[in-house]
Amino acid sequence: MQINSRKIFIVHTDLDGVCSGAIAKRVFDNYLKIMFSGPRTIADTLKKIGSCSVLGIVDIALNHSDYIDVEREILRIKSSGCQIIWIDHHEWHEADKQISQHINLILENSPSAASILYRRFAKDDEISKKIAEIADDGDSNKNELELTLAYKIGTRSNKDRLELIDMFSRGIFYNEKVEAWKKQVEEENKIIDMVIKKAKIFNSESDKKVAFVDLRGKKLIGSLLAKKLQQLGVNIVFILYTERSGVLYGDGKVNLLKIASKYNGGGHQNACGVNFKLGLLDRILTKILKKHIPAGAKKLLKDLKRT
Ligand SMILES: [Mn+2]
């Protein structure tokens, strides 16, 4: 294939991103190149792209602090004659929407980005419809479809993600691989029940129940853990994934995005990422003491206490 006839889609690393990639393959080109990225890395991902004919970016928010970097890359890629379309359902900073003067920007309030893609480009395609339903179910954290959680396990490595995209795009929703992920869900379910017992739960100033879970070093479906805690009456869940990153899940009564934006985070009001800068002392202490909570996470806990 000629390099300048290349079609590229950059999608988020989660199940919604995977579903978006699968629908894009059905709609645009089975041979389109899929790349994975996220709001914090999108500028760097764009830097890797030379020329293309079509570039899609799906399920990735534009971080306000990266606007200038992202715009520069978008303009460079566009000047190679590439048509760029950006589809997302996260909340964007108002000023960043001006990127639409260079590209086709589709921002919609939707349970998933994949279902925007489906409604806009694949309305008559039954398989795309099914893929969009999986994305809606997973991204809203309902997980009501039988295999949604199994698919979520399949989004942990690029290899598995690409395999899922290939399967979904061919209308295959179950095979031995999915069966194995399904078994793993059962295993993780048991571990999650033990982790829940160790969660630190406290009341905020406005009497919201807040749970803090330190998941560093553990591979578990965070969204399932959060859901189970919410079923136990917890309003806000803060999961620490690494020294530098975590997620917040809410029950809809607090706009967590406001808090997350103070921690270089983003996403949705009820589910958003947070990122911490690690000082020298924290870098040393987290190496020596496995359970040391870095200052950024401690500060966030204080903020949650005040909600
Ligand atoms: Mn999404």
Give 111 Cα–ligand 1 centroid separation in angstroms: 7
Same domain, 163 and 135: yes
Residue 179 lies in a domain: no
Rounded distance from Cα 281 to ligand 1 centre (Å): 35
Instruction: Provide the CATH number for the domain around residue 223.
Output: 3.10.310.30
Same-domain status, 18 and 163: yes
- For the CA atoms of the chain, what is the radius of gyration? 20
Q: How far is the CA of 305 from the centre of ligand 1 (A)?
A: 28
115 lies in the same domain as 36: yes
Cα distance between residue 104 and residue 84, in whole Å: 6
Q: Show the beta-strand stretches assigned E in 38-136.
A: 54-58, 83-88, 104-107
Rounded to the nearest whole angstrom, what is the distance from the C-alpha of residue 291 to the centroid of ligand 1?
A: 31
At residue 2, the pLDDT reads 42
Q: pLDDT tens digits, residue range 11-35?
A: 999 999 999 999 999 998 878 999 9
Q: Residue 1: inside a domain, yes or no?
A: no
Asked whether residue 186 is domain-assigned, the answer is: no
Say yes or no: 267 and 210 in one domain: yes
Q: By residue range, what is the domain housing residue 34?
A: 7-174
Res. 252: pLDDT tops 90: no
Angle, helix 158-169 to helix 15-27, in steps of 10 degrees: 40
pLDDT in tens, 120-147: 999 999 999 999 999 999 999 999 999 9
pLDDT band at 4 (very low <50, low <70, confident <90, very high): very low
Helix and strand numbers, DSSP H then E, in the chain:
12, 11
The number of beta carbons lying within 10 Å of the beta carbon of residue 146 is: 11
Tokens standing for residue 100: 């639409």
**Residue 302 and residue 299: Cα distance in Å, rounded?**
5
Q: Given 3-state DSSP classes, what are the helix, strand and coil percentages for the chain, each rounded to the nearest 5?
A: 50, 20, 35
For residue range 73-84, what is the model confidence (pLDDT) as tens digits?
Answer: 999 999 999 999
Considering the domain architecture, whether residues 66 and 17 belong to the same structural domain is answered as: yes
Residue-wise pLDDT for 50-102, tens only, equals 989 999 999 999 989 899 999 999 999 999 999 999 999 999 999 999 999 99
Domain assignment of residue 18, yes or no: yes
Q: Give the mean model confidence (pLDDT) for residues 223-229.
A: 95
Both tokens assigned to 141: 């954290």
Return residues with CB closer than 5 A to ligand 1 (ion): 16, 59, 113, 139
Q: SS3 of 121, please?
A: helix
pLDDT of amino acid 5: 64
- In whole angstroms, what is the distance from residue 147 CA to residue 301 CA? 34
Domain count, the chain: 2
User: Cα(218) to centroid of ligand 1, in Å?
Assistant: 23
Same domain, residue pair 122 and 270: no
Same domain flag for 236 and 132: no
pLDDT at 1 over 80: no
Structure tokens of 281?
Answer: 């002392």
Residues 273 and 157 placed together within one structural domain of the fold: no
Record the tokens describing residue 147, joined without a space: 């295999």
How far away, in angstroms, is 173 Cα from ligand 1 center? 20
What was the pLDDT predicted at 253? 87
pLDDT of residue 31: 87
Q: What is the CATH number of the domain that holds 104?
A: 3.40.50
pLDDT of residue 275: 94
Which of 287 and 241 is assigned the larger pLDDT? 241
Specify the DSSP element, H or E, that contains 9: strand 7-12
Domain boundary among 116, 142, 174: 174
pLDDT at residue 29, rounded to an integer: 84
- 115 CA to centre of ligand 1 in angstroms: 10
Q: Which residues contact 168 (CB under 8 A, 6 or more apart)?
A: 18, 19, 22, 127, 131, 134
Q: Which of 115, 162, 107 is nearest to 135 (CA)?
A: 115
| Confidence (pLDDT) at 213 | 97
Residue 185 is assigned to a structural domain of this protein: no
Domain boundary among 142, 174, 206: 174
**Residues 56, 157 share a domain:** yes
Length of the chain: 307
Q: What pLDDT is recorded for position 202?
A: 97
Residue 188 lies in a domain: no
**Among 146, 174, 202, residue at a domain's last position:** 174
Note whether 168 and 265 are same-domain residues.
no
Instruction: List, for residues 177-209, the tens digit of each pLDDT value.
Output: 999 999 999 999 999 999 999 999 999 999 999
At residue 208, the pLDDT reads 96
pLDDT at position 266, please?
Answer: 86
> In this prediction, what percent of the chain has a pLDDT beyond 70?
98
Is there a single domain that holds both residue 203 and residue 292?
Answer: yes
In a domain, 120, yes or no: yes
Same domain, 95 and 16: yes
Q: For residue 21, tell me if it sits in a domain.
A: yes
pLDDT of residue 70: 98
Environment class of residue 205 by beta-carbon count within 10 Å: exposed (0-12), middle (13-18) or buried (19+)?
A: exposed
CA of 17 relative to ligand 1 center, distance in Å: 7
